[in-house]
Structure 1
């Protein structure tokens, strides 16, 4: 079952940001009239909160120094806002990027919109201990204090929400399923595109528009699950049978939908946060040399100087290079000669034969340098 996928809120963390960098951010926000509110706490959570807001309504929540972090000179800084608002705070992002040691993905709210009424959308958790509660027509899966935890879910009438909050009228029924994705470990932002969320393990969802096509008893059990029946009313066996009945063609596959939309949704956003057009996995910088040798053919068919090479993707690592080794040996011998001159000068004063003889103790060859690795581009 197809649905439109979007991201409603996106949270990232900047590691090792100093107090100086944070207070410079506060001062610049005050000068630019973007400072909406600043708060300092001494309890749980973050000790500093900064809320920025532009004239057009774009906002940015800044949280600095988690209370659980040990004392030091640099702490974690967290940003939270809607994806489309990040680009409007590009100057802030550029300053933080240069001040931090790394940027990591924390969480986001993934929304699945289906064009039908809430009566036709069935969502129930895989874990029977996660209870459903109702408030003003919205179905919540989890308690209020679990709002930012992985797997927290809301199911509500999106058309009504657009009408009440934005005065926008749509001419069709629209239901939204919004699930929080918060991995157990922080993912480097440069690698995020390779980690789409997997939310089928948390919830089963289906859309049924033709209830008459289901057996009468099964349709009644499905409605009870849709409305949040307790585990005493609907046993695990009944839940299993309902899932088998709705698996095809009614199921909403969260994993497949998120996998298809993950890169298109986040490619531009990650580029803005990382300061580049397209996010790439950060690689170790290597020193490359220019060579005229063509490596399109297998290495065993090349000339003999490439014996013992190893291929890694588009790079070839060569372990033998006579010319460079000769220069390094000359440099090592030069260093040895300078060391011999220095020690000879120190012991040039008249002294006993024992002292002169023992002076040779300070003249020793330098340690042999480890084999060098040279990387050539194919």
Structure 2
């Protein structure tokens, strides 16, 4: 299967950051206050934006610990924007004792129509459908490990005025370890998604009995969710799908993970990738 993987939204954590660090932000771009995330109450929450559309968000120190002279700083951005904030990130590295990885969105881009991609949860997560996008996880779980959404990337790009000729489906899964990981150790702890989800490329002409072909048509069109069928139908459908091409998320991710994490480390730690 031809597919590529990109790391999307990236969240990092820095320790030992003094409040006066924020004076260094004045020359970086347009600064605006933003809302807190994940229900935490931070002392400072702001976003820096550049004319190029590059952005970086900062969430600083719990409001309940503002008496401390130093605090934790969470940083959120897209990996492709890191180089545009290299001066600022260098200052952060000089101040902080450690840099920790918190989470990232892993995007699998598959050059096929959305109605050819079927994903099921291996851990009992129910799928919901909203405006054509399939979700595994509720609204409040957006930043939780394993949250997944599948959507028509070609259609999304078109809505932004970007036209591509080929079909494109995106399967996006959140990787958030149970604890923050030191950036230096990240390469030895790649995510594994095969245990969370089974992905299948559907060819309705391949060895499917009529009733299960009809079920798949309903599922792929977004008219029904798999949890609306009985356990019997779900169990037999799983066997029927053995004849279809499987998406090995872990294999697709393996080489891309090393390459992209190495690039991120190089920017954040000032290391050479050669």
Same fold, judged at TM 0.5 (above):
yes
Please provide the CA RMSD for this pair.
2.4
1:124 partnered with 2:134: no
Is 1:75 paired with 2:74? no
**1:1-378 matched pairs, under 5 angstroms:** 1-21=1-21, 23-25=22-24, 29-30=25-26, 32=27, 34-38=29-33, 44-67=40-63, 72-128=68-124, 130-165=125-160, 167-226=161-220, 227=222, 229=225, 231=227, 233-235=229-231, 237-247=232-242, 249-278=244-273
Higher relative contact order (CA 8 A, sep 6+): 2
CA contact (8 A) 1:113 1:174 kept: yes
Distance between the aligned counterparts of 1:131 and 1:204, measured in 2? 13
The runs of 5 or more residues in structure 1 that have no matched partner are: 280-378
- For the structure 1 residues 36 and 239, does the alpha-carbon distance in structure 2 shift closer, same or farther, using more than 3 Å as the test? same
Of 98-107 and 3-12, more deviation after overlay is shown by 3-12
* CA displacement, residues 104-130 of structure 1 (integer Å, 9 cap, x when unaligned): 1111111111111111110121233x2
Alpha carbons of structure 1 residues 83 and 163: separation in structure 2 relative to 1, 3 Å = same
State the SS of the aligned residue for 1:191: helix
In 2: Cα distance, 1:98 partner to 1:224 partner: 55
Offset, 1:211 = 3.5
**Structure 1 residue 17 displacement after superposition:** 1.1
Match of 1:57, SS state, is coil
Shift of 1:143: 1.4
Q: Please tell me whether the aligned partners of residues 12 and 74 of structure 2 are also in contact (alpha carbons under 8 angstroms).
A: yes
CA contact (8 A) 1:225 1:234 kept: no
Aligned residues: 270
8 Å CA contact 2:11–2:77 kept in 1: the answer is: yes
* Bigger Rg, which one: 1
Provide the secondary structure at the position in 2 that maps to 1:213: coil
Partner of 1:329: none
